[in-house]
A and B are shown apart, each in its own frame.
Chain A
Amino acid sequence: MNTSIPESHGDVAPGDELGPADVPHAIRGYLLGLALATLLTCVSFYIAQSTLVWQPSIPIALSVLALAQMGVHLVFFLHITSGPDNVNNVMALAFGLLIVMLLVFGSLWIMTHLDHNVMPMERMMRMQR
């Protein structure tokens, strides 16, 4: 049904010439990404310093905002989309994310447990005396 270039992102085929008429369109895509990223960044900086959000939940809120901004970067700057022509790129990224999650949360989990179960040095010293 559709073997021509989908024009949804204002980008071109690899190795394809981009007509001058397409330049403003492509630039607009990046500017939209810039606007969204700026908005998310400003919200992050605001939340970190304000009492707007319940304090213990601030790290979670900042993580969610960071994830959203990474998504904006991926879509608008790296052009990673959910289209069928992008499956390989998304799969590689998904595998990378799996490893990242295992590394970060695995480390935190194990080290927190160790922290809990290993006696603090001062107490050990006191017992040896």
Chain B
Amino acid sequence: MSAAAETFPGGVAGGGLALGSRGHAQALTEEPAHGPAKRIVVAYGFWIFLISDIILFSALFASYAVLTDATAGGPTGRDLFELPTVAIETACLLLSTVFCGFAGIGAQARRNTLYYGSMAATFVLGATFVAIELHEFATLIAAGAGPSRSGFLSAFFALIGCHGLHVTAGLLWLLTMMAQVYAKGYRDDIRRRLLCFALFWHTLDIIWVALFSLVYLVGVAPR
């Protein structure tokens, strides 16, 4: 086993082809501006950012966990959460994450149909998710269960709302990436940005797994 090739999250096994048997550090100094080394460094840096984002969510999550029972005599999760809605949201985000993966494959293979089609599907599913969530929030607030009702609801809106904001930002980024590929083609730097976008989108879905399992499902589960 000579020279284990460096890879990056989302990308895959394989800097080995271009880096050959040279070490990573050496490759870095020899290829400062482009090539696989740059791609690895960019993706790794973004991976570190995503992990810090996960830590941000865990702080909101911890406050939610502490405040679940602080309902101040108001409605609990069991009274408010509607599982069919959550199931549709989950399906939207899961499918959009898979389409986002397809878009990455399309960009690597430079197949326009696969790339633009998958990105469009990702956008539609992501936008549906945000729309359903906004509707859910509006319904809760109209029913008097807004963030100011109790500590539980404050934490709930902060946690779910923060995820929703991330998805919304991701949708804007998605449109930007479609426009950039349209204007500039599948250039190396554009594909690095695409890789970061894919990492971001997949990570949002991982966070949603924690949210739907531990906020919604545990919230309505019989105790």
Interface residues of A (CB under 8 A from B): 1-6, 8-9, 11-20, 22-23, 26-27, 30-31, 33-34, 37-38, 41, 44-45, 47-49, 51, 55-56, 58-59, 62-63, 65-66, 69-70, 73-74, 77-81, 83-86, 88-89, 92-93, 95-96, 99-100, 103-104, 106-108, 111
What sequence of 0s and 1s flags, for each residue 36-76 of chain B, a beta carbon within 8 Å of any chain A beta carbon? 10011001100110011011001101110110000000000
Asked if A58 contacts B221 (CB within 8 A), the reply is yes
Asked if A70 contacts B20 (CB within 8 A), the reply is no
**Cβ contacts under 8 Å, B52 to chain A:** 96
**Cβ contacts under 8 Å, A17 to chain B:** 108-110
Asked if B94 contacts A85 (CB within 8 A), the reply is no
Closest-by-CB residue of A relative to B48 is: A92
Closest-by-CB residue of A relative to B90 is: A41
**Cβ contacts under 8 Å, B63 to chain A:** 107
**For the complex, is B205 an interface residue (Cβ under 8 Å from A)?**
yes
When A13-B16, A62-B218 are in contact, do A84 and B188 touch as well, CB less than 8 Å?
no
When A14-B15, A14-B36, A92-B48 are in contact, do A108 and B65 touch as well, CB less than 8 Å?
yes
Asked if A69 contacts B209 (CB within 8 A), the reply is yes
Which among B1, B105, B199 is the interface contact of A84 at CB below 8 angstroms?
A: B1
Number of A-B residue pairs having CB atoms within 8 Å of each other in the complex: 217
Asked if A14 contacts B11 (CB within 8 A), the reply is yes
Asked if B101 contacts A15 (CB within 8 A), the reply is no
Q: How far is the CB of B109 from chain A (nearest CB, A)?
A: 5
When A12-B14, A77-B97, A84-B4 are in contact, do A59 and B221 touch as well, CB less than 8 Å?
yes
Asked if B101 contacts A14 (CB within 8 A), the reply is no
Chain B interface residue number, banded: 35 or more
Q: How far is the CB of A73 from chain B (nearest CB, A)?
A: 5
Asked if A15 contacts B65 (CB within 8 A), the reply is no
**Cβ contacts under 8 Å, B33 to chain A:** none
When A1-B2, A58-B222 are in contact, do A111 and B102 touch as well, CB less than 8 Å?
no
Asked if B101 contacts A77 (CB within 8 A), the reply is yes
Provide a sorted-by-A list of 20 A–B residue pairs whose CB atoms are within 8 angstroms. A11-B11, A13-B18, A16-B18, A17-B110, A22-B109, A23-B111, A26-B105, A26-B108, A34-B95, A44-B217, A55-B222, A58-B221, A66-B210, A70-B206, A73-B209, A78-B199, A83-B13, A89-B7, A92-B44, A104-B61
